[in-house]
Structure 1
């Protein structure tokens, strides 16, 4: 984020919450002309009931929010809650629904700030996560759950539209407050929670939303207690015993209102990384909440991320960051990766061009390196998922060989491209994971890789390799010295390791060359065995 944007974000965070809430309450989120036309056409269809119409409203978050706000004005006077979109539609009736939709401003998607569109995508992702996790097990209250999951972050949509600069600020610090300790949210998190609660109450949104926001602001100790139990996901019996011994915590945990909170936590965590501590904490909390294995929860999360991507954003149609793009999939099944325009400003340096001195290399830890490589060779099928296997390889490179920055890419045969699926030590905000570049088998670049088991990219060789390297790869490498190690199976490329050697002196590079080759061999064999 540029200095100007950072200043804008800080100035917004010092605004009076009451006056800002009044300003945002007067705002309406626009829809595209085609979307509004489609909604009005469905409403005019006499064969379509209000229940069916309301079910399809989940496809349009802006219209769903508008109708809930309009229904909230009626519900407030009657002192009742609006829990589902069908209830909101029944309160309004066909005529007022049409008036509310026609009142929405019309703007094409491309005209909306990318930050606002990214926020809308996060909320849609949360809805999909909620559907995968809770729809079957909590079928009786699914309509309530769906609405709360979709609109949980609704106040942030309008804030991101009016003040796009603040999104980069949130994105670099995580939108929701941290939940790993009982110290409470910092100033930014407290400010955001207070603003969101005030708007949710003013709009008379579902009480499930206000309860979730209240949990983050005031009931963090209960959440931390639940997280401590959830952390021990490998011992479900001990978890159940701990909950049985704390009935107050158990009664709080199983409240339905915690479900949309969990779904949004997972969606927000996935915006940064699937392997981060925050995402894993939300997944463990979901596993405890549902009494499921953590592996099953992670699998569902990945499936729902892919489902969102396939249904909402066909290949090449979105400039937003799609969490599914960071997931590795079997050959021919990986999803397109798009540059996250909403989270990188023009002033943000590209990977490899940070302008800062490279992180110095750490000392070798031979025992750590041997243990990690031995684990890759002896039990590749023992990893719960591919990311766990890649994490072991990353540990060998970082902890064992002391390499400060590196990334691992896997080959997608269907698209003939390499996709970065694991990385360590990359510049903040660089979004290396998910980057892809073409690697067709009939290109000179592919043949060059096959002839170089360890390919060194140095200043001296960069000019002659300029025409050889794919453009996106050049951006990833920047001007730094790199070592590329392709991974093969039956003379077919399956992946590649790239290590930044900028901070290594000649002695350190030579010292690490042999164990680096061995690490690549171990990962290569582990990937082949894991895919069988």
Structure 2
């Protein structure tokens, strides 16, 4: 099946595409800031505090202020400085040009990434801002916007973030390998290029330059940080390397440390990555690991109180779990259906194959088809009926999906994959190897209902014309070949049932 347009595969093409993405903001945030800008009694600090409730809006204001810095020696490092440079009128004009979207219309991976950024900002405020009070604005805004180069990627291609998360965090695959397969470029290099293009605060650039290609000092610091049981020896090692000591104590490192803590905790509190960032932060603050962990956990809870959302994951939830628990587990192949399920599946298939058709309505037929798919070992399934002109696909049956699946209506003209499947009977099996190729060609609402790297799609015909589309998976887990074969045989039975149903009464 051809791809159009293909995903970018070079730094230049990614930069061009992501720079053009307009990040959505919630209507409530839009209205609050609009009113504050129109209220002459609101100070710039009060406006900035309202803007920070929408990370996307904060990014756009800072980007606009730094777009042309010819009259200033330095880019704006905080939102208050950015607002001063823009002025309230230009800020309001910028606000009016940004898209407003309800929560359910904003891709979940984008909202998840912004939640991680808010968690990182809370860690930075709690761990570092009081100690470096004069620099609290730089600490706060650089920490909040450190991951901002990833936001347009999550907005435009949410499936890529989910694939990266599952493969790198869940399965433990090397990040460089996964990023090369999904993007064609290093994620850190892409973040650095966007941060430089947007003229984000210098502390953010320093962090990405270090992580992308200047890791020598970081590796040396991590090596010393491992010996957290002997603080005196740690201090002696730092005293013996004045270059390392000067680098480690730079305030700019607070941005990288806060985001390292927040990102690592996104998977598990005791993972090697999380312990690495905790030890390094303890070395920076000259605190024992146990005391540092207590502070980090407190800030996570505070962040959850401020920013948690019902459909998003916050690491504070895992503080109630056993210490070794993981949010993302390596996925294993779906087990083949058990004997009882196989027996039910055979019974449903026999019903579908009966001649003449035992079904009095399409609803009866699709209900039997749904039950057959479910008993074949597939936990999620969606059956869509095509109208006579192939201009609409309407959900007829769903299992294992949110309630909004029952009212789903799709326009096939917006998806090359759907158009191809409706043109003639066919099938498509999505896997991690081809997900990046085909996911961009599927409707966003469909991907939101069935976020999966392992998805089966098949179109069925009656009298030579496609009338139905089947989608099924096992909640994103790899599929056993037995389940794939059962899906194929079930589809054949449904197609036979459709043909028999069309002949009734003749």
Q: Same fold (TM over 0.5)?
A: yes
Compared with structure 1, are the counterparts of its residues 134 and 186 closer, same or farther at alpha carbon in structure 2 (3 Å cutoff)?
A: farther
Aligned to 2:199: 204
Is 2:25 aligned against 1:45?
no
Structure 1 segment 102-141 matched on structure 2, within 5 A: 102-141=96-135
> Could you tell me how far 1:169 is from its partner in structure 2?
2.8
Aligned to 1:384: none
Aligned to 2:353: none
> Could you tell me how far 1:201 is from its partner in structure 2?
1.0
Provide the rounded CA distance (Å) in 1 between the counterparts of 2:168 and 2:203.
22
> Could you tell me how far 1:45 is from its partner in structure 2?
2.1
Residue in structure 1 matching 2:247, options 240, 244, 252: 252
Aligned to 1:72: 66
Compared with structure 1, are the counterparts of its residues 16 and 184 closer, same or farther at alpha carbon in structure 2 (3 Å cutoff)?
A: closer
> Could you tell me how far 1:329 is from its partner in structure 2?
8.7
Structure 1 segment 279-290 matched on structure 2, within 5 A: 279-290=274-285
Could you tell me whether the CA contact under 8 Å between 1:28 and 1:105 is conserved in 2? yes
Provide the rounded CA distance (Å) in 1 between the counterparts of 2:20 and 2:286.
43
> Could you tell me how far 1:227 is from its partner in structure 2?
0.3
Aligned to 1:298: 293
Residue in structure 1 matching 2:313, options 318, 321, 337: 321
Compared with structure 1, are the counterparts of its residues 174 and 226 closer, same or farther at alpha carbon in structure 2 (3 Å cutoff)?
A: farther
> Could you tell me how far 1:110 is from its partner in structure 2?
1.2
Aligned to 1:355: 335
Provide the rounded CA distance (Å) in 1 between the counterparts of 2:218 and 2:129.
23
Could you tell me whether the CA contact under 8 Å between 2:304 and 2:314 is conserved in 1? yes
Provide the rounded CA distance (Å) in 2 between the counterparts of 1:184 and 1:267.
17
More divergent stretch after superposition (52-61 vs 302-311) = 52-61
Provide the rounded CA distance (Å) in 2 between the counterparts of 1:240 and 1:253.
12
Aligned to 1:222: 217
Provide the rounded CA distance (Å) in 2 between the counterparts of 1:63 and 1:297.
32
Could you tell me whether the CA contact under 8 Å between 1:74 and 1:91 is conserved in 2? no
Structure 1 segment 431-470 matched on structure 2, within 5 A: none
> Could you tell me how far 1:187 is from its partner in structure 2?
7.3
> Could you tell me how far 1:353 is from its partner in structure 2?
7.6
Residue in structure 1 matching 2:179, options 183, 188, 194: 188
Specify the SS of the correspondent of 1:228. Answer: helix
Specify the SS of the correspondent of 2:150. Answer: helix
Aligned residues: 326
Residue in structure 2 matching 1:81, options 70, 75, 82: 75
> Could you tell me how far 1:55 is from its partner in structure 2?
3.1
Aligned to 1:59: 53
> Could you tell me how far 1:109 is from its partner in structure 2?
1.3
Could you tell me whether the CA contact under 8 Å between 1:55 and 1:86 is conserved in 2? no
Compared with structure 1, are the counterparts of its residues 39 and 142 closer, same or farther at alpha carbon in structure 2 (3 Å cutoff)?
A: same
Compared with structure 1, are the counterparts of its residues 298 and 112 closer, same or farther at alpha carbon in structure 2 (3 Å cutoff)?
A: same
Cα deviation 1:199-240 (Å, max 9, x = unaligned): 111111101101100000122111010001000111111100
Cα deviation 1:4-25 (Å, max 9, x = unaligned): 9xxx9xx75x612112211111
Unaligned runs of 5+ in 2: 337-474, 476-506
> Could you tell me how far 1:74 is from its partner in structure 2?
2.8
Could you tell me whether the CA contact under 8 Å between 1:31 and 1:62 is conserved in 2? yes
Could you tell me whether the CA contact under 8 Å between 2:119 and 2:262 is conserved in 1? yes
Provide the rounded CA distance (Å) in 1 between the counterparts of 2:22 and 2:247.
35
Compared with structure 1, are the counterparts of its residues 255 and 187 closer, same or farther at alpha carbon in structure 2 (3 Å cutoff)?
A: farther
Q: CA RMSD in A?
A: 3.0
> Could you tell me how far 1:56 is from its partner in structure 2?
3.2
Residue in structure 2 matching 1:16, options 6, 10, 14: 10
Larger radius of gyration: 2
Aligned to 1:426: none
Specify the SS of the correspondent of 2:266. Answer: helix
Cα deviation 1:146-173 (Å, max 9, x = unaligned): 1110110101011011011111232135
Aligned to 1:26: 20
Is 2:89 aligned against 1:95?
yes
Cα deviation 1:460-500 (Å, max 9, x = unaligned): xxxxxxxxxxxxxxx9xxxxxxxxxxxxxxxxxxxxxxxxx
Provide the rounded CA distance (Å) in 1 between the counterparts of 2:321 and 2:106.
32
Specify the SS of the correspondent of 1:47. Answer: coil
Structure 1 segment 127-166 matched on structure 2, within 5 A: 127-166=121-160
More contact order relative to length (CA 8 Å, sep ≥ 6): 2
Could you tell me whether the CA contact under 8 Å between 1:55 and 1:85 is conserved in 2? no
Could you tell me whether the CA contact under 8 Å between 2:29 and 2:51 is conserved in 1? no
Provide the rounded CA distance (Å) in 1 between the counterparts of 2:50 and 2:27.
17
Specify the SS of the correspondent of 1:101. Answer: helix
Provide the rounded CA distance (Å) in 2 between the counterparts of 1:169 and 1:214.
25
Specify the SS of the correspondent of 1:27. Answer: coil
Aligned to 1:277: 272
Cα deviation 1:373-430 (Å, max 9, x = unaligned): xxxxxxxxxxxxxxxxxxxxxxxxxxxxxxxxxxxxxxxxxxxxxxxxxxxxxxxxxx
Could you tell me whether the CA contact under 8 Å between 2:25 and 2:56 is conserved in 1? yes
Specify the SS of the correspondent of 2:320. Answer: coil
Provide the rounded CA distance (Å) in 2 between the counterparts of 1:169 and 1:88.
35
TM-score by length of 2: 0.60
Provide the rounded CA distance (Å) in 1 between the counterparts of 2:178 and 2:252.
25
TM-score by length of 1: 0.57
Compared with structure 1, are the counterparts of its residues 76 and 288 closer, same or farther at alpha carbon in structure 2 (3 Å cutoff)?
A: farther
Compared with structure 1, are the counterparts of its residues 322 and 217 closer, same or farther at alpha carbon in structure 2 (3 Å cutoff)?
A: same
Compared with structure 1, are the counterparts of its residues 309 and 125 closer, same or farther at alpha carbon in structure 2 (3 Å cutoff)?
A: same
